[in-house]
Amino acid sequence: MDIRKQIYISGQTYIGKVSPTPSAQESILFLKYSEPEIEAGGEFDDGVTSFTLTEVQKAVHTGTPISSIFDTVSLAIDYTEAGLRAELFVDTIVDRIEAEMDYLRNVDTTTNTELDKIVVI
């Protein structure tokens, strides 16, 4: 899976965005088992920075991009803290996506040869 990570500033706000693009084989797995979902909110903690976002489930591909806004004014935090939160958000979302995709690949008992024979219309 190709995962594009973006962190940028707009005014007094940091924005973290993750945009995954599945491979052809991963798209077949989505058709076969359904597209996995991740928690895009909840607890974010790397031992230095921690915060909580409202819990929300997002589909790994069709629910994207997965993004969050870290506004320095409404959160009463400085730019450094907003940037750290945006970075932690992006890194955690990528980790969650990769974990779900690893699980999906492990669930699949179909051989690569059989996957190559499946035709997506």
Q: What is the DSSP string of 28-62?
A: HHHHHH---EEE-SEEEE-SS-EEEE---EEETTT
Residue 17 lies in a domain: yes
Whether 13 shows a pLDDT value over 60: the answer reads yes
Residue 115 within a domain: no
Q: Is the pLDDT of residue 110 over 90?
A: no
95 falls within a domain: yes
* Residue 67 pLDDT grade (very low, low, confident, very high; cuts 50, 70, 90): very high
Would residue 58 count as lying in a domain? Answer: yes
119 domain residue, yes or no: no
What's the domain count of the chain? 1
This prediction's pTM: 0.86
Which range of residues forms the domain containing residue 35? Answer: 2-110
Confidence at 118, pLDDT banded by 50, 70, 90: low
Is residue 117 one of the residues assigned to a domain?
Answer: no
pLDDT band at 88 (very low <50, low <70, confident <90, very high): very high
Q: Identify the CA nearest to 63 among candidates 18, 111, 16, 103.
A: 18
Residue 107 pLDDT:
86
The stretch 82-97 carries a mean pLDDT of 97
Tokens standing for residue 38:
């991740």
- CA proximity to 36, closest of 59, 18, 65: 59
**Cβ atoms of 55 and 42 closer than 8 Å:** yes
